[in-house]
Amino acid sequence: MKKIIAVFIITISLFTVLPFTKTYAENLEVSAQSAALIDCRTGQILYEKNADQKMFPASITKILTAIIALENSNLNESATAGNDILGTDGNKIFIQPGEILSVKDLLYSLLLSSANDAAVVIADHEGGSTDEFAKMMNKKAADIGATNTHFTNPNGLHDDNHYTTARDMALIANYAMKNETFRKIVNTQKYVVNPTNKFDEERILYTENKLIKNSRYHYKGADGVKTGYTKKARHTLVASASKNGHRLISVIMGDEGNKMWEDSTNLLNYGFSNYRVVTISKKDQTVGTMNLKNLKIPLVTNKNVLASMPLDKNTITKKISLNDDISLPIQAGTALGKLKYYADDMYLGEADLITNNSYQRNWLGRVKQINAEISNTSDGSNKKLKVFVTVSVLLVIYIIMHTIKFCHRKKYIFKKTNRR
Active site positions, annotated: 59, 62, 114
Q: What one-letter code names the amino acid at 420?
A: R
Say how far apart CA 244 and CA 378 lie, in whole Å. Answer: 50
Q: Is 251 helix (H, G, I), strand (E, B) or coil?
A: strand
Contact by Cβ (8 Å): 133, 84: no
Residue 303's identity, in one-letter code, is: K
| Torsion, Cα of 319, 323, 328, 332 (10° steps) | -50
Which is nearest to 67 in space by CA: 223, 180, 168, 189?
180
- β strands within 150-217, DSSP E: 190-193, 203-206
CA–CA gap between residue 60 and residue 63 (Å, rounded)? 6
Angle at 117 between CA 114 and CA 119, to 5 degrees: 65
- What does the alpha-carbon distance between residue 405 and residue 412 come to, in Å, rounded to a whole number? 11
Q: Is 59 exposed, middle or buried (0-12, 13-18, 19+ CB in 10 A)?
A: buried
Residue type, 410: K
Q: What strand order describes the sheet that includes 346-354?
A: 2-11, 315-323, 335-343, 346-354, 295-301, 286-292
295-301 and 346-354 strand pairing: antiparallel
Query: Max Cα separation, the chain?
Result: 128
| Residue 120: closest CA among 43, 165, 41, 61 | 61
Whether the upstream peptide bond of residue 329 has omega within 30° of 0, thus cis, is yes
Amino acid at 72: N
- Write the DSSP symbol of residue 370: S
